[in-house]
Structures are given as C-alpha cells and as structure tokens.
Amino acid sequence: MALEGRAALEGALGLLSSPLLTRLPKGDGHPIIVLPPFGAADQFTVGLRRFLGNRGYDVHPWGHPEVLGLHRLVHVAADRVHEVSDERGQPVTLIGHSLGGVYAREVARFTPERVRFVVTLGSPINDLKANHVWPMFEAASGTRVSSLPADFAARMAEAPPVPTTSIFSKSDGVVAWRSCLDRSTGPVENVEVVGSHIGLPSNPMAIYVVADRLAQPIHEWQPFHRPGTRRPGFPRPNPKATGGAADGEENGAG
C-alpha cells in the first residue's frame, strides 16, 4: 500500500507527457463512458476524460455519485449505456477503473449490442476479494461477495462478447495483479504497465494503451504491440503465466 504514494508522481508525469501523448491518433468521435472506482465519483476520472475528449472522442461521465452494488448493476449501469448509445445512435466504449472495470464488463455482457469495446484499469475480474477494499465495498453496497451465485462469479472471469483489454500493474498496491488477468480466448488481451493502482487513470503508459486501443476501427481489433522506443514502460508478460493475449503474442490461456 505504501507504494500507492507514487500516484501523485504519475499524475505529474501524465502532465509532463501531454505533448507526447497528443501525437497519438485522433479519435473517430464515438461515445465513451468512463466508470470511476469504488468510493470515488466522476471527479476522479476528469483528467482521463479531458484527455480523451481532446483526442476527439465523445466522452461521458458515469453520472452517478458512486459505483453501486452488483445487485443494482443492470438497472442503473445498463440504463446509462442505453441513454448514451441512443443519443449518439452507435455503440459505446466502456472504460472502468478498479471495480468500475468489473461493472463495465458485466454491462457489456448484458447488452453487447450497445457496447463497442471494454478497457479495464486494475480491475479484479477474477476475485473480488483479492484487494484491500472489499470489506468496505460490502458495507457500503449491501452486496456480500460470498453471497454471489457461483455461476455468476465464474462468469465474471470470462470476457464479455466484445473486444476487451485489461491493463494491470504488478506493483499495484490495492488489487492483486493476478486477479486482473483475463484468461479468455478471442479478442482479449492483458497489457502490463508500471505504476500504482490509484494512479492508473493518469499513468502516461496506461493512457497510451487506452488511446492506442480506442483508435482501432470498429470490427478491426488487433492485439496491442509495445512501441519500440517506450518498451521499458511496458514489461512483457509471460503468456503462460498470465493467460490471454500479451502484447501481440498468441493468446495462451492456461
């Protein structure tokens, strides 16, 4: 947890990297909804949303004071996706940090025709207790992790039926990094960056990955390839250890 103090440094590096990040491809204007982590509101994602808006995307906040319990997911989060999708007349991309990423995946699973792409940042998709905040989540949301049906919990580990990127850090001080790995087959990948959990939305390497992924034309998904000049910021995961597509390598779920 002490390593989470790096988040302030990551925010500063994100600002310093702005001139370089503006060289990334411009967006195509498609709508994006950014979901904040548990215990945080939309103010937490302002920086990431502003950057994506400046790249040409139609970016929307989550629009609720917090991420709700799983038992309210379909009734609240799916309605928000339908609202934005109907307004723009096209599917949306969902970006979620931490528990917000878990929600993004479940909403995409529930309404895949309304979702174009999912990106998660440090999201415990394999084990909701593999982090330091699950007791607070239970107390605040009224959802007991142990009470989730076994089939629901097992399904959470499977990617939704849309292209999905899981961004994680092995030095994450809040969420166990292995719980962030997606071992599904199909257009699914795990991309490692170096950084803290709290700082992922402002981490310049994570922002690079997000922008690179969003710039792909719809229905033309390709795995992420590490940029040659910035490889130190993108450690190469061992596909046998991580599962899923890793930096353009063959999907090797195991």
Contact criterion met (CB below 8 Å) for 103 and 129: no
Report which of 250, 223, 120 is spatially closest to residue 172, judged by C-alpha positions. Answer: 120
Half-sphere exposure for 185 (CA within 13 Å, toward CB): 2
* Distance, CA of 100 to CA of 210 (rounded, Å): 15
pLDDT of residue 136: 64
Domain for residue 251, yes or no?
A: no
Is the pLDDT confidence value at 240 over 70?
no
Tokens 């002490």 -> residue: 2
pLDDT digits (tens, 9 = 90+) for 169-210: 998 888 889 999 999 999 999 999 988 888 899 898 899 999
**Eight-state DSSP code of residue 123:** -
- Band of residue 249 on the pLDDT scale cut at 50, 70, 90: very low
Domain for residue 252, yes or no?
A: no
* Distance, CA of 156 to CA of 149 (rounded, Å): 11
Q: Answer positive or negative: Cα dihedral of 104, 107, 111, 112.
A: positive
Query: CATH number of the domain that 40 lies in?
Result: 3.40.50.1820
Domain for residue 250, yes or no?
A: no
Higher pLDDT: 243 or 25? It is 25
Domain for residue 98, yes or no?
A: yes
Give the range of the structural domain holding residue 196, as residue numbers without chain letter: 2-242
Structure tokens at 104: 């993004």
Of the chain, the percentage scoring pLDDT greater than 90 comes to 43
DSSP β-ladder status, 115-121 and 245-246: unpaired
Domain for residue 248, yes or no?
A: no
Number of continuous H segments (helices) and E segments (strands) in the chain: 9, 7
Tokens 């995961």 -> residue: 237
**Eight-state DSSP code of residue 198:** T
pLDDT of residue 8: 58
Q: How many domains does the chain have?
A: 1
Beta strands in 122-195 (DSSP E): 164-168, 188-192
Tokens 């809040």 -> residue: 174
Contact criterion met (CB below 8 Å) for 189 and 245: yes
Measured between its terminal Cα atoms, the distance across the chain in Å is: 29
pLDDT digits (tens, 9 = 90+) for 28-79: 999 999 999 876 778 889 989 999 999 999 999 988 765 556 656 666 778 8
Domain for residue 253, yes or no?
A: no
pLDDT of residue 172: 85
Structure tokens at 252: 């090797």
pLDDT of residue 37: 86
Domain for residue 254, yes or no?
A: no
pLDDT of residue 88: 93
What H or E segment, with its residue span, contains residue 210? helix 204-214
* Distance, CA of 190 to CA of 110 (rounded, Å): 22
